[in-house]
Amino acid sequence: MTVSAMIRTGQVLLAIVAAGQMFAAEAPPTRPNIIFVFADDHATHAISAYGSRINSTPNIDRLAREGMLFRNCFVTNSICAPSRAVILTGKHSHLNGVLTNSEPFDINQQTFVHLLKQAGYQTAIVGKWHLQSDPVMFDYWRVLIGQGPYYNPRFRTPQGVITIEGYTTDVITDLVLEWLEKHRDRSRPFFLAYHHKAPHREWLPGPKQLNLYKDTFIPEPTTLFDDYRGRTSAAAKTTMTIANHMTDLDLKFTLPKNLTEKQRQMIEEAYRKENQAFRAAGLQGEELVRWKYQRYIKDYLRCVAAIDDNLGRVLEYLDRTGLAQNTVVIYSSDQGFFLGDHGWYDKRWMYEESLRMPLIVRWPGVVSPGSVNWDLVQNLDFAPTFLEIAGVPLPAEMQGRSLVPLLRGQRPADWRQSIYYRYYEYPAVHDVQRHEGVRTARYKLIHYYLINEWELFDLEKDPDELRSVYDDPAYADVKRELLAELERLRKVYGVDKAQEPPVRGSGE
């Protein structure tokens, strides 16, 4: 290197150091920060980065453009509390103890949060928690009580319950920004769980989104009028149809009781004309279902729009403070959701719309911007991934695998070829039969084991899962292989030795 080149290099280095000092007084921790943005019931087909036909999510899309989008991320048990317990422990439901929404999470079991904390990370959670026990393993916590309302949320905190007036998605974000700005210890890396209540039922929009999609027709899913033929008896008996099982609260004919008078008037005004027209029209049959679908999906998408707007606020803060450079930002949701698909709302099923989770990871300098991954990954893998990002050794008891090699663009040769699924909450709200199953890149086998009925789908030929080929002789070999694979996975995960939980009802 010539002398002049060395001088130029030195000048560049000095300039970089000076710029760093201008942005922040703190020395950035070398280990990355992690912000885990987690929505509730946000289906991939309501994210434009995943090809949504019905909405646009510019800030979530920005994460995908600057990071990696996982095309095949699947939940192990498609319901709120169980998905969260799997994420905390890296273990399937029968081992972490949260099989349905009824069991409280045993706070004394090991979670990735304990391990990050031991390794010197500061840990914070703001928003939905939904695991009954207090999240005492976090250094800082402000969590909604149960599901939490859409307006004027109450939070459990180490200092007792606090109530904050406002729209919950905005309020949670305000608390997140306040923690980042005022409460964190700037000498240590952090893990921040930024967890929304939205877009969970009953989909009440925020002040800024109340009139979004007004006079817009949202395209209907092709299976809105599914007749449930071609499958077992389970699908037809479920009680989650848009046609028959939506409440007045879901449809905004009544409003929650905890609104202020001003909020109530604002929301009533937004729906007034449409409700009057609906009452005058006297719709019946398919027209009535179509109307309900429009009401439902618009409110759902309005709730999603508030999440996306607020994510934009956080990304802007990270940019402005220079934190973005050393912070991994992850977007996901506890499961998928039926957006009128099969005539339904809700989740629980191993069917695609409910099984799929969004997963987008932005990790500057590590993840190649705009990359897409097609490997089979699960929420079971989140805890090992958080730990490996932080450089913490993985405990053997965790059943998931770290996604860090995939994030680096290096697929391990022995990556999984199938996933195991198990849903337990029956009998219960929505009447979805208990089931377990296996999904490979192309096929899906489901066993409704209390009634001993089976379904097998060829996802390549039948992506909407309308015709089970379980009894089709052409699929005899596929069936045999999947039955063997299901047995193998039951052994791998220790399900074969687990006790079937008692039959009892529970909430959503």
Which residues contact Ca ion by CB under 5 A? Answer: 40-41, 80, 334
Minimum CB–partner distance for residue 203 and Ca ion (Å): 13
Nearest to 339 by CA among 240, 205, 456: 240
End-to-end CA distance of the chain: 67
For Ca ion, the closer of residues 75 and 478 by Cβ is 75
Distance CA 64, CA 372 (A): 8
Minimum CB–partner distance for residue 366 and Ca ion (Å): 29
> How big is the CA angle at 65 (ends 60 and 66), to the nearest 5 degrees?
100
Minimum CB–partner distance for residue 145 and Ca ion (Å): 16
Q: Tell me which DSSP letter residue 499 carries.
A: P
Nearest to 350 by CA among 245, 439, 417, 430: 439
Q: What is the largest CA-CA distance in the chain?
A: 86
For Ca ion, the closer of residues 92 and 201 by Cβ is 201
Nearest to 40 by CA among 362, 350, 390, 306: 306
**CB 482, CB 443: distance < 8 Å:** yes
What are the backbone dihedrals phi and psi of residue 358, each rounded to the nearest 5 degrees, phi first?
-70, 145
Minimum CB–partner distance for residue 387 and Ca ion (Å): 24
Amino acid residing at 236: A
Minimum CB–partner distance for residue 354 and Ca ion (Å): 10
For Ca ion, the closer of residues 32 and 127 by Cβ is 127
For Ca ion, the closer of residues 226 and 334 by Cβ is 334
For Ca ion, the closer of residues 334 and 455 by Cβ is 334
For Ca ion, the closer of residues 310 and 332 by Cβ is 332
For Ca ion, the closer of residues 196 and 362 by Cβ is 196
Minimum CB–partner distance for residue 154 and Ca ion (Å): 19
Please, what is the angle between helix 382-389 and helix 80-89, to 10°? Answer: 40
What are the backbone dihedrals phi and psi of residue 495, each rounded to the nearest 5 degrees, phi first?
-75, -30
Minimum CB–partner distance for residue 83 and Ca ion (Å): 7
Those residues whose C-beta lies under 8 Å from the C-beta of residue 496, and which sit 6 or more positions away, are: 487, 490
For Ca ion, the closer of residues 40 and 465 by Cβ is 40
Report the 10 Å Cβ neighbour count for 454: 18
DSSP 300-311: HHHHHHHHHHHH
Distance CA 457, CA 468 (A): 5
Minimum CB–partner distance for residue 442 and Ca ion (Å): 27
Give the CA radius of gyration of the chain.
24
**Conformation bin of residue 388: beta by default, left when phi > 0, alpha when psi is -120 to 50:** alpha
For Ca ion, the closer of residues 43 and 49 by Cβ is 43
Helix (H, G, I), strand (E, B) or coil at 157: strand
Chain residue at closest Cβ approach to Ca ion: 80
For Ca ion, the closer of residues 41 and 381 by Cβ is 41
For Ca ion, the closer of residues 36 and 454 by Cβ is 36
For Ca ion, the closer of residues 122 and 238 by Cβ is 238
Minimum CB–partner distance for residue 40 and Ca ion (Å): 4
Distance CA 416, CA 405 (A): 13
**CB 84, CB 143: distance < 8 Å:** no
Distance CA 293, CA 290 (A): 5
Amino acid residing at 93: S
**Unique residue bearing structure tokens 């989140």:** 382
Minimum CB–partner distance for residue 428 and Ca ion (Å): 14
Alpha carbon 159 to its chain's center: 29
Minimum CB–partner distance for residue 335 and Ca ion (Å): 5
The two three-digit tokens of residue 371, written as one number: 């990359």
Minimum CB–partner distance for residue 39 and Ca ion (Å): 8
